[in-house]
């Protein structure tokens, strides 16, 4: 801003800006129009999307670090077998199906079907619980089979990536249960179900990367289904 | 615009069950393709690139349809998505070093 422009009193500058504004600014129906609500999105949804963007970078850092050590070692142990892959595929199926029930919950909430929306939300939380139980069983199985001494790098990567994800699933289970109950009780609105759904789909999305990179990249199918 | 008006301004769309089911079936099918790839003995780098490509397609399906991103304003999508993807993609700067270490291991030279 030049000194001459800055010297103009605000009362005089405002009409001038208004006069020049429409010529340079996007029209109101333009998708890039600013105004008070430039993204035309609920603040809760916007906040959750910002969280998802930042959290995806956290997961990316973990998975890239894993990929670095995986690619750099030609003697990387292929610790998983067909049985491990079958179990993790089942976990993937459970998460994908829970995402579908979440979609149905959000649709029911937007349609004003409160009870139906809460039931689908609880079904989603139940899917999360099933995932946690299967994953915890797998962890206990792995921990009991670990060799004595320092933890091998492969298992450090496994516990870090899957542990971080399981933490998110656990938080999601409680989050969905609380939101579902509060929505059923009339304390929450459909947007709260939708925001919780965004979080849950993100948890599902992250697993779409954890599953192939952690499990499938360290699998020797010729080992069969044994331990 | 008041908050109430803003709420109504947010673009709503009709729920499409068929579309969501199609995405779900697609995600399950791609998962099975990934599992099949585990049976095929591919070099680690090739396997990684293939799996990441399939995962990216699955992520697009989840974000676009399940998370309704395809129904949001283009300004919102273009503000949020490219910056996240670029930030994540920049982490790939580590990979050449990983392959350098791999070559050191492979030819039996001591790692620096």
For the cut 80, the answer to whether the pLDDT of residue A71 exceeds it is yes
- Do A127 and A101 form a contact (C-beta atoms < 8 A)? yes
Average pLDDT over every residue of B21-42: 93
pLDDT band at residue B14 using 50, 70 and 90 as cut-offs: confident
What is the rounded average pLDDT of the residues A189-198? 96
| pLDDT reported for residue A18 | 47
What are the structural domain ranges in chain A?
1-40, 43-223
Q: Does domain A43-223 have CATH number 1.20.120.80?
A: yes
Domain ranges of chain B: 1-72, 73-112
pLDDT band at A23 (very low <50, low <70, confident <90, very high): low
DSSP per-residue letters across A56-99? HHHHHHHHHHHHHHHHH-TT----B-HHHHHHHHHHHHHHHHHH
- In whole angstroms, what is the distance from residue A154 CA to residue B67 CA? 33
More confident residue, B87 or A23: B87
Cross-chain residue pair A49–B74, CB shorter than 8 Å = no
Does residue A98 carry a pLDDT above 70? yes
Nearest to residue A168, comparing CAs of A134, A119, A205?
A: A205
pLDDT computed for residue A171 by the predictor: 98
pLDDT for A5 beyond 70: no
Top-confidence residue, A146 or A223: A146
Min CA distance, B104 vs chain A (Å)? 9
Q: Please name the member of B15, B17, B35 whose beta carbon is closest to the beta carbon of A89.
A: B35
- Best mutation site among A64, A81, A95, A213 for testing chain B: the one with the most B CBs within 10 Å? A64
């Amino acid at each position: 801003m030049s000194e001459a422009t800055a010297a103009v009193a605000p009362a005089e500058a405002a009409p001038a800006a208004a006069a020049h504004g429409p010529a340079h600014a996007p029209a109101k129906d333009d998708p890039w129009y600013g105004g008070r609500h430039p993204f035309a999105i609920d603040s809760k949804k916007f906040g959750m999307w910002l969280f998802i963007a930042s959290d995806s970078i956290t997961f990316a850092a973990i998975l890239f670090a894993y990929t670095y050590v995986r690619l750099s070692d030609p003697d990387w142990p292929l610790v998983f077998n067909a049985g491990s892959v079958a179990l993790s595929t089942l976990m993937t199926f459970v998460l994908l199906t829970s995402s579908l029930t979440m979609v149905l919950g959000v649709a029911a909430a937007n349609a004003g079907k409160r009870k139906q929306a809460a039931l689908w939300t609880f079904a989603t939380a139940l899917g999360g619980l099933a995932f946690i139980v299967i994953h915890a069983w797998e962890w206990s199985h792995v921990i009991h089979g670990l060799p004595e001494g320092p933890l091998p790098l492969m298992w450090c990567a496994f516990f870090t990536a899957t542990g971080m994800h399981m933490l998110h699933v656990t938080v999601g289970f409680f989050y969905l249960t609380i939101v579902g109950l509060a929505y059923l009780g009339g304390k929450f609105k459909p947007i709260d179900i939708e925001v919780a759904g965004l979080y849950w789909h993100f948890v599902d999305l992250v697993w779409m990367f954890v599953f192939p990179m952690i499990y499938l990249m360290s699998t020797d199918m010729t080992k069969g289904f044994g331990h | 615009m008041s908050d109430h008006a803003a709420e109504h301004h947010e673009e709503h769309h009709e729920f499409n069950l068929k579309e969501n089911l199609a995405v779900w079936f697609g995600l399950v099918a791609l998962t099975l393709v990934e599992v099949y790839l585990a049976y095929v003995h591919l070099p680690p780098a090739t396997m990684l690139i293939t799996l990441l490509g399939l995962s990216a397609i699955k992520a697009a399906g989840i974000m676009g349809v399940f998370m309704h991103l395809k129904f949001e304003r283009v300004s919102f999508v273009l503000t949020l998505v490219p910056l996240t993807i670029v930030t994540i993609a920049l982490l790939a700067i580590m990979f050449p070093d990983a392959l350098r270490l791999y070559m050191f291991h492979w030819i039996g030279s001591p790692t620096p």
